[in-house]
Amino acid sequence: MAAAEATILDLDLSDERAGLVLEDIERLERVIFPEHASPARCLRDELKRRNSGLIYLPSSAAGEEVVGYAVYTCNTSLCATIIELAGEQHIHVHSSQSPGVNDSAEWIRARNCNFVVAVRESCRRQGHGDALLRAAVERCRGRRVQRVILHVDPARAAAVALYRKAGFQVDATIEGFYAPQRDAYRKFMDLQ
């Protein structure tokens, strides 16, 4: 399914298919994040929060519910952070009284909430990541987030290009952000 043909849906936890969608996302996360504890363990609790949501691209393939998804939590945020990790886009949203991009990486890590965007490996390079990224940014805009900040591994050329195309600007390089010897570009886009 090409991204232009896809419809991004908001997950309604009361919908009868919600359980199947969440189970498929949990399976995806075990593949995408094998070295990390799966964020899916907390996903259901996270989605019960007032300003949390999950958007996804439904799959037409047998046995698959999801092509890709984004989980977001805005709280009363003025600032949202998108982090690219392990070949996937991961979005963290954090509160900030002053949404400047010069905050330290430690501050960002200490004051963020998970917001993950990921696409099934067999469905990549079809525009799905771009569609989910744009939809996630629009969800942030709808919640009056003023600035989206993302972190991306400079070695991930496709992700760097995607963010540049979407309008993100480089603010700084954060040394050792992902791991020792694995830095990140910090980029931002003002929404208002």
Looking up residue 180, the CATH number of its domain turns out to be 3.40.630.30
Give the pLDDT confidence score for residue 97 in this predicted structure. 36
Give the pLDDT confidence score for residue 128 in this predicted structure. 92
Q: Is 72 helix (H, G, I), strand (E, B) or coil?
A: strand
List the Cα angle 71/93/174 in 5-degree steps: 120
What's the pTM value of the predicted model, to 2 decimals? Answer: 0.70
Residue by residue, pLDDT tens for the chain (192 residues) are 555 456 899 998 899 888 899 988 888 878 765 554 455 557 777 777 777 788 999 988 766 789 998 877 665 544 444 443 333 444 443 333 334 444 433 333 322 323 566 788 888 889 998 899 889 888 878 877 777 777 777 987 877 888 899 898 998 998 987 778 888 888 888 877
Give the pLDDT confidence score for residue 109 in this predicted structure. 33
Instruction: Round to whole Å and give the CA distance between 14 and 34.
Output: 29
Q: Is 143 helix (H, G, I), strand (E, B) or coil?
A: coil
Phi/psi at 158 (nearest 5 deg)? -65, -40
Number of domains in the chain: 1
Residue 122 belongs to domain spanning: 3-190
Give the pLDDT confidence score for residue 78 in this predicted structure. 47
Give the pLDDT confidence score for residue 34 in this predicted structure. 56
Instruction: Round to whole Å and give the CA distance between 4 and 188.
Output: 26
Give the pLDDT confidence score for residue 141 in this predicted structure. 80
Give the pLDDT confidence score for residue 164 in this predicted structure. 92
Give the pLDDT confidence score for residue 56 in this predicted structure. 92
